[in-house]
Amino acid sequence: MTNLRPSRRALAAASSLPLALLAFGAAASPAHAIVGGQTARTVAPYDGSFQRVDSPRRSTHVCGATLIAPRWAITAGHCTNEVDTKTSLAGTGKVKIALSGNPVGWKVRFGSRDNISGGRLVNVQQFVRASRTIDPAGDYALLKLSRPVRVTPAKVATRPPAPGTTATIQGWGYTNKGGLRDYGRTRSYPTMLRAAITKVARLKTCGIKADRRALCIGVDERVGPDNMDSGGPVFVQERGHGTVIAGTVNGGNYVSGLRPSVYTDLSAHRRWISSYTSGRRAIPRPKRLTSPGMAGAAVIHGSGCSASVVRVAASRPTDPAMVLTNGHCLDPRPKPGQAVADRPSDSLVPLTGRSSNPIARGTTTRLLYATMTGTDVALYRLRQSYAELAALDVPARELATTGPAPGDALVMHSGTAQTTFACTVETVVPAVQESGYTQRNALRYAADKACLPQGGTSGSPMVNPRTDQIVAIHNSHVTGDGKPCTESNPCEVAPDGTTTAVKDRGYAQQVTGLTACIAAGSVFDAARPGCTVTAARR
């Protein structure tokens, strides 16, 4: 169960990345506002807030960006990891990150201290990044804008600033000093730009070798970038050029409190940058990496879980749309033997369209049903109707009324990872037990690299490619890091009571017992004929 729901610490470490799927170097933790800074008194016309619909924030801010040419902004490479850029490589267990793309719903707000209003809001037409890694030497990307921004762009430094140079850092990221417990809470993220004055430190202060083409910024561990500051600038004064952007945030260290923060040294990459901004080089035509089948995939913000837009045969276009994920994604979780139903809910749900990009933001209104007993499901009702989502090019998949058979091929679509996995049903397991919970008739699928679940894949729909129906939702796999039948190590229970747990085996919960519980109008009723889920307490 929880082995696939990232911990709060893991979510904090991932920040502007879609998941903690990529390993960060020892030099820095990923940074996604300026802790210890002050609200900026002024803002330059080239200062930008990079915004995407998959952000949990009202402003949709995810990273900092800086205009460096009329149609070009620069940010961190890992800030472009999300949309249409990832795929699971069958048979390798690896995830590939694209170097270019045509994103949907990406914008940059320039020249406003407030990331919700004011300034100039410009669409991002394309992006190109220098490297698939998040090493500071290659963690930078250019955003090509849909139209020119007619202001004076920032100048890129011609050389790295010397240690001791006064530097200005800024951003709209996390500011609360309460530590990890406040990550993801709106109150911890400002709408107004914050800035701080600091100094350039020696690279060894950040644990970086002299040849790493990076900058170490900060002399006070209490001041620096944090969650959602990635891609933000550091400005210095350069002789003969005035104010220049010397780097962009690669990683912050405020939470760990170990050392100053790491920025990518942009002066080392001027040739690559100017090759695009001057027009000498065209952005490579992107390869579609994400399966078109990702349409309808979703994320429940605050849960760390994937989800999907679902319907039943009786659903009508005017009905409120429904979203399905795991019961263990709730906080607090339903207790063993317990189910909950018809509770108010107000969660943000980024929704993937047929472009395979998160292109819309849904909002839950009710938790229709949730349990971890017998199965592991949570069903929500959205404020938006199926017709409204269809108009946004977000489809809904129908829940199957019959389950798959051993040997059937299934496709798992993870909204959090924007990744697909190719899975094969091995068998139906009568009872799977984990941490005091028992699920019945669970699907077990082959533990191979083409179907190796990762953090955040909980709640992902398992789709029958022949019918395009959802037959199950993924909920757990065996990590092998603990005793069998404990959390993160589900075990199969035989009729005689013996248990078996095999590392990397994955399990999903069939939806057939849930389908009969849903009527037209997106109404959930456990008393309907054929509904086999645990009854909820009123």
- 532 Rama sector, left if φ>0, alpha if ψ -120 to 50, beta otherwise: alpha
C-alpha angle with apex 455: 420 to 94, nearest 5 degrees?
50
Which of 67-76, 133-142, 386-395, 457-466 bottoms out in mean pLDDT, i.e. has the lowest?
Answer: 133-142
Provide the mean pLDDT of the chain.
86
Class of the CATH domain delimited by 292-524:
mainly beta
pLDDT per residue over 287-343, tens digit each? 655 567 889 999 998 788 999 999 999 999 999 999 999 999 999 999 999 999 999
> Can you tell me whether residue 137 is helix, strand or coil?
coil
**Residue with the two structure tokens 């009123």:** 538
Q: What share of the chain is helix, strand, coil (3-state, %, to 5)?
A: 10, 40, 50
Residue 272 vs residue 27, higher pLDDT? 272
C-alpha angle with apex 19: 16 to 23, nearest 5 degrees?
90
DSSP state of 284: P
- Helix (H) or strand (E) holding 390, with range, is helix 386-391
Q: Which band of pLDDT confidence, cut at 50, 70 and 90, is reported for residue 177?
A: low
**Residue with the two structure tokens 């001791």:** 164
Number of H helices, E strands in the chain: 4, 38
Of 114, 191, 88, 108, which Cα lies nearest the Cα of 151? 108
Q: Give the whole-angstrom CA distance, residue 212 versus residue 205.
A: 13
Q: Give the whole-angstrom CA distance, residue 73 versus residue 59.
A: 19
Measured CA to CA in angstroms, residue 167 lies from 68, 235, 463, 484 at distances of 18, 6, 52, 53
pLDDT per residue over 407-453, tens digit each? 999 999 988 877 888 999 999 999 999 999 999 999 999 777 788 77
Q: Give the whole-angstrom CA distance, residue 166 versus residue 184.
A: 31
Judge whether residue 18 has pLDDT over 90.
no
Q: Give the whole-angstrom CA distance, residue 393 versus residue 469.
A: 18
Q: Give the whole-angstrom CA distance, residue 366 versus residue 369.
A: 9
Which of 11-20, 172-181, 445-454 bottoms out in mean pLDDT, i.e. has the lowest?
Answer: 11-20
Model pLDDT, residue 289 = 53
- Per domain, the residue ranges of the chain are 26-277, 292-524
Task: Report which listed range, 21-30, 131-140, 183-192, 368-377, is most confident.
Answer: 368-377
* CA diameter of the chain: 81
**Residue with the two structure tokens 């006070």:** 220
Q: Which residues contact 321 (CB under 8 A, 6 or more apart)?
A: 309, 311, 362, 381, 382, 384, 385, 386, 388, 389, 396, 522
pLDDT per residue over 484-500, tens digit each? 999 989 999 999 999 99
Q: Give the whole-angstrom CA distance, residue 427 versus residue 377.
A: 20
Which of 142-156, 375-389, 410-424, 458-472 bottoms out in mean pLDDT, i.e. has the lowest?
Answer: 410-424
- Mean pLDDT to the nearest integer, 7-25: 28
Amino acid (one-letter) located at 99: L
> Can you tell me whether residue 46 is helix, strand or coil?
coil
Model pLDDT, residue 253 = 53
Q: Which band of pLDDT confidence, cut at 50, 70 and 90, is reported for residue 252?
A: low
- The token pair that represents 346 in the structure block: 């107000």
Model pLDDT, residue 55 = 86
Q: Give the whole-angstrom CA distance, residue 320 versus residue 247.
A: 46
Model pLDDT, residue 135 = 85
Share of the chain above pLDDT 70, in %: 85
- The token pair that represents 521 in the structure block: 């109008």
Of 428, 516, 512, which Cα lies nearest the Cα of 471? 512
C-alpha angle with apex 424: 419 to 429, nearest 5 degrees?
115
Query: What is the CATH code for 26-277?
Result: 2.40.10.10
Count of CA atoms in the C-beta half-sphere (13 A) of 75: 34
Q: Return the number of other C-beta atoms located less than 10 Å from residue 84's C-beta.
A: 23
Q: Which band of pLDDT confidence, cut at 50, 70 and 90, is reported for residue 272?
A: very high
Rg, Å, the chain Cα set: 24
Please give the distance of CA 427 from its chain centroid, rounded to a whole number: 31
Q: Give the whole-angstrom CA distance, residue 351 versus residue 456.
A: 15
Of 479, 128, 452, 426, which Cα lies nearest the Cα of 277? 128
Judge whether residue 238 has pLDDT over 90.
yes
> Can you tell me whether residue 228 is helix, strand or coil?
coil
pLDDT per residue over 178-200, tens digit each? 444 444 555 678 899 999 999 99
Q: Give the whole-angstrom CA distance, residue 464 versus residue 454.
A: 21
> Can you tell me whether residue 10 is helix, strand or coil?
helix
DSSP state of 513: H
Q: Give the whole-angstrom CA distance, residue 348 versus residue 59.
A: 13
**Residue with the two structure tokens 């400005």:** 235
Return the sign of the alpha-carbon dihedral for residues 376, 381, 384, 390. positive
Cis geometry, peptide bond prior to residue 6 (ω within 30 degrees of 0): no
- Mean pLDDT to the nearest integer, 506-531: 95
One fold for 26-277 and 292-524: yes
Judge whether residue 505 has pLDDT over 80.
yes
